[in-house]
Structure 1
Amino acid sequence: MARRRELKGIANAINESFVSRNNDFKGYWSIGQIKSLTLNNGLTSMTFPLMLSKANPTSGLQNYTACHYANMLKSLLKKQKLPNFWVNNAVIEIDFNPNVELAQLYEYTTSGELFQCSCQITSDAGRDYTSIIYGRCWPHAIAQEFKSTRNSS
C-alpha cells in the first residue's frame, strides 16, 4: 500500500542524482555549470521547479535541468505507484553560500567551494519531505575539465 512518507525516498533519489558526477549538461558536470551561471548573474543560489505542466527539455541549462528532474519525479512516482496528486509542489534548490555552521559537519577532503543542495517535495496534505546534501565544486572551466564521453544533452 502506497504511503506519502515514500515521498522522502523520492526526494533523496532526486537529490542524489542531481549532485552526482553523472549529472551532465553538454558533457560537463551540471553543478559546476550552475555555479558559473549563478556567479555570472550575481546570485548565490538557484531554484529549479519540478512541477511543470509539460516537461519537455529545451535549450539552456536551467530549462533542461528543470525538465529532466520533473520527468524523473513523474517516473519515480509512477514506479512507486504513488498518485501524482499527492505532490502539491517540488523544487530543487542549490545554494553556493550555505550556512557555514551546518556545513562544518560535512567537511570533505576534496577541493572546491562548499554548496548545499536540497530537494523538497510538499504533499497534498501540506507536509514537506526534504533531502539535503552538501558537496564541493568549482565554477565550470572547460580548460580544467574533461568532457564526458557519454552521450548526454
Structure 2
Amino acid sequence: MSRSACVGFSMPRRKQFKGICHDILESFVSRYNDLDGYWALGQYATFLTESGQRELRLQLQRGSTLSECSKFSASATYYQGAVLRLMDANEMPHSWFADAYIRFSMVGPTNALCEVEIVSDLGKAYHCDRRIDVRPHNPLREHWRGGNFGPSNQMGQ
C-alpha cells in the first residue's frame, strides 16, 4: 500500500482513554447531569452528608455503585454506556476496557472532588479529576427539569 493511501487513517490507541476520562468528567460535573430531574451531584452531596460516608463510587465496568444507595446505579449504568460509546467513536475494541470508576467525595462543606479513572487491559490507569462547588440537593430551592433535556442519567440517554 502506498504512503498516500494511508493518509487520514489512524489506528486506535489505548492512550485515547485519557481523552475519554476527560470527556466523562466533563459530562459528570455538568449542570445537565440529571438524576430524577435534579442535578445529580447535589443529590450525591446530600447522600454523603446524611449517610456519613466519605465517598460515592460508581463502578463503570459493572455499571453499579459501591455504596448502599441503589438509586445511583442508573448513573453508573449511564456512564458505563458513555465510556463504551466513546470507545466505539474512537474505534477502540471493548476488550481494552478492563475497569473504570467515578469517585465523588466531599472535601469541604460546599466543595467536592470528582475523579474518573479508566484502566486498560494492559493495567495502565488513565485519570482525570476536578474540584467543584456543589450544594446539597434541596428541592425547595431547585427547579425540577422535566422532559428529555441534557444527558439525563435516569433515562439512560
TM-score, shorter chain, exceeding 0.5: yes
Q: CA deviation at 1:150?
A: 3.7
Q: Does 1:22 align with 2:32?
A: yes
Alpha-carbon offset, residue 125 of structure 1:
1.2
- The unaligned stretches of length 5 or more in structure 2 are 1-10
Larger radius of gyration: 2
Q: Does 1:45 align with 2:55?
A: yes
Distance 2:59 2:70 in 1: 15
Identity value in percent: 29
1:115 aligns with 2:125: no
- The match for 1:94 among 104, 119, 134 is 104
Q: How much has 1:60 moved relative to structure 2? A: 4.8
Aligned with 1:142: secondary structure?
Answer: coil
CA RMSD of aligned residues (A): 1.9
> Which segment is superposed worse, 36-45 or 129-138?
36-45
AA partner of residue 77 (structure 2): C
From 106, 127, 131, the equivalent of 1:130 is 127
Cα distance, 1:37 vs structure 2: 1.1
Query: Does the residue aligned with 1:22 lie in a helix, a strand or coil?
Result: coil
After TM superposition, which residue ranges in structure 1, 4 or more long, deviate above 2 angstroms? 149-153
Tell me the number of residue pairs that the alignment of Structure 1 and Structure 2 aligns: 136
- Structure 1: which 5+ residue stretches go unaligned? 99-111
The DSSP-based 3-state class of the residue aligned with 1:97 is strand
Q: Which moved more, 1:23-32 or 1:142-151?
A: 142-151
